[in-house]
């Protein structure tokens, strides 16, 4: 498999490790920063709780069994579902969903080409 990176996400005391193609890691980190910037502007009460992208790294070895590595495609699919479930369909939600779905499509294409 091609060069992979890991994006480390933190939500309170919980960490999540997302394995992503190195060529797309910055996009996931930037997307998270943008989502955090905009999520406070949403009028919907059902806005998902979103972890913060706190770090990226090239190599990762998890030494505690409580943590696992999540595939970037699985992660982005879950992220898309959580934002698609927001009842408010105003501009900010549609714009954020568009950005999520753009990265989702890029990752789907990347994984298809690698298969």
pLDDT tens digit string along 49-98?
Answer: 899 999 999 999 999 888 999 999 999 999 999 999 887 777 788 889 99
- 20-29, 33-42, 99-108: range with lowest mean pLDDT: 33-42
Q: Where are the domains of the chain?
A: 4-114
Residue 8 has pLDDT above 70, yes or no: yes
Query: Which pLDDT value is given to residue 38?
Result: 85
Q: Could you say which DSSP state residue 79 is in?
A: H
User: What's the CA angle centered on 82, arms 44 and 92, to 5 degrees?
Assistant: 45
Going by pLDDT thresholds of 50, 70 and 90, the confidence category of residue 2 is low
Query: Which pLDDT value is given to residue 68?
Result: 92
């Amino acid at each position: 498999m091609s060069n992979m990176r890991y994006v480390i996400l933190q939500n309170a005391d919980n960490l999540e490790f997302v394995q992503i193609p190195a060529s797309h890691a910055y996009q996931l980190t930037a997307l998270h920063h943008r989502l955090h910037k905009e999520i406070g502007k949403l009028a919907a009460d059902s806005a998902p709780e979103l972890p913060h992208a706190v770090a990226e790294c090239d190599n990762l070895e998890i030494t505690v069994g409580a943590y696992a590595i999540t595939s970037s495609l699985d992660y982005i699919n879950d992220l898309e579902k959580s934002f698609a479930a927001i009842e408010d369909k105003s501009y900010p939600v549609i714009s954020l969903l568009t950005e999520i779905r753009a990265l989702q499509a890029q990752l789907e294409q990347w994984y298809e080409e690698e298969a």
